[in-house]
Structure 1
């Protein structure tokens, strides 16, 4: 029943939004070139799925997100552990990482295109950069907030530094790491779409940009709708994994 309720409430909210959208278009006679009705958007979705034109765009965007998100997450956790465990590494590397984060990723896009080309590699690099920093910061903060008394107790029993990292610090930081993963998966979607806006031959971002040239708002809204679905599904997937792996933080919820 709890799972059914968790699914039912968002569906009710979505239904209300669609109803208000539909009534607003009809009552105020808003033209299709400004705001298409929901049925026109769903018709564009149905046609795109039926003729197979949407599937390559979805596959491209999902591939960019998956590879870039995985690369950014692995790199963020690895560098976060290294920085939290080594003061020397922190002094040398942390200012450079902060400077990299301060650079607008959209401004780096043309440079990445020159270096990596116009294929999928440039999109993956941009996604990696976008989703890297939130997880990196959460990893560092989570490890640094490990209970000092617990660490001292383990050291009193001659626990090695590697044992402390694997069995004390990382489990303690797991909640923060998964919070960074949830933020990163949303940013990965944004990074993929921005990269496709800059230069692409396929992808949902490319579909939206190319549809704007033809003023096909129903197709543009269909692309945005698919991006929203991907964002919700990926976020819920990360949350589900967190509930399974960091079960001690679930409480009574």
Structure 2
């Protein structure tokens, strides 16, 4: 009987141990509830008009209305595809160019000044040009998403490949390993945490790029829907679309983080052991 009671006590104590080790599990929803409740009651208390700042309950009603509309899902699908295609294009280009720059000094000295100069140009200023060059369809938004997600990924690829342990590289060289073997066995594993950091930033930026492109010129997408709700002075509807975009970004971030924990599990273990 005594071991059974001890086991029950351990099971009952598990949630408390989890909360002590990860207080954010309680703090994150608590902060959300507090902010929403304060927002809900502060709007009428301060006499703020609903068309200036709608209450969360009104935003929820607008969100329910949009989710029940098949056209909304069409806009969501377009933005997701634009973001995904742009993300893949930008990441692919950054991986190729970043690998070349990190391995060949002549390529770095030749192309890096142009890359940095291009990055300093405001991307919003490029959006009208992309619409002129690629039209009002999906292509211009894909290019916009790719351009915005390209540079963060490029920087992380270069820094990651250069972060490889020089002693390990020298040891493999002594044992006769070739450049490709060194890249596969040392440089690439060392760069994976940096690469996933770039992926995490790039996937969120790709959504931003797609929406910015839709602002400039589009016939569908969540950015286009934001403009429509703005023209109709549907402020609650605008907030509802913003909520969907926020959820979309959180989902994309969570997917990348999940993949990172699966692929670079040794980095997570070393970080926990060193904490």
Query: With structure 1 as the length reference, what TM-score do the two structures score?
Result: 0.95
SS in structure 1 opposite 2:225?
A: helix
Corresponding position of 1:138: 156
CA–CA distance in 1 between the matches of 2:255 and 2:25?
14
Corresponding position of 1:181: 199
Q: Check if 1:204 corresponds to 2:245.
A: no
SS in structure 2 opposite 1:53?
A: helix
> Offset at 1:53?
3.0
> Offset at 1:139?
0.6
Corresponding position of 2:7: none
Structure number, greater radius of gyration: 2
Q: 2:165 aligns with which of 116, 139, 147?
A: 147
Could you list the per-position Cα deviations for residues 22-44 of structure 1 after superposition, in whole angstroms to 9, with x for gaps in the alignment?
01112112111100111111111
Corresponding position of 1:228: 246
CA–CA distance in 1 between the matches of 2:166 and 2:212?
42
Map 1:152-167 → 2, pairs under 5 A: 152-167=170-185
CA–CA distance in 1 between the matches of 2:29 and 2:73?
25
CA–CA distance in 2 between the matches of 1:182 and 1:69?
11
Q: Check if 1:250 corresponds to 2:268.
A: yes
CA–CA distance in 2 between the matches of 1:221 and 1:11?
20
CA–CA distance in 2 between the matches of 1:22 and 1:211?
22
CA–CA distance in 2 between the matches of 1:204 and 1:5?
35
Map 1:33-72 → 2, pairs under 5 A: 33-72=51-90
Q: Check if 1:95 corresponds to 2:139.
A: no
CA–CA distance in 2 between the matches of 1:101 and 1:116?
20
Unaligned runs of 5+ in 2: 1-14
> Offset at 1:167?
1.5
Corresponding position of 2:34: 16
CA–CA distance in 2 between the matches of 1:10 and 1:185?
23
Paired residues, number: 253
CA–CA distance in 2 between the matches of 1:189 and 1:9?
28
Corresponding position of 1:127: 145
Q: Check if 1:214 corresponds to 2:244.
A: no
Query: With structure 2 as the length reference, what TM-score do the two structures score?
Result: 0.88
Indicate the larger mover: 242-251 or 2-11: 2-11
CA–CA distance in 2 between the matches of 1:18 and 1:179?
31
Could you list the per-position Cα deviations for residues 34-57 of structure 1 after superposition, in whole angstroms to 9, with x for gaps in the alignment?
001111111111111113232111
Corresponding position of 1:118: 136
Indicate the larger mover: 21-30 or 134-143: 21-30
> Offset at 1:201?
1.1
> Offset at 1:8?
4.9
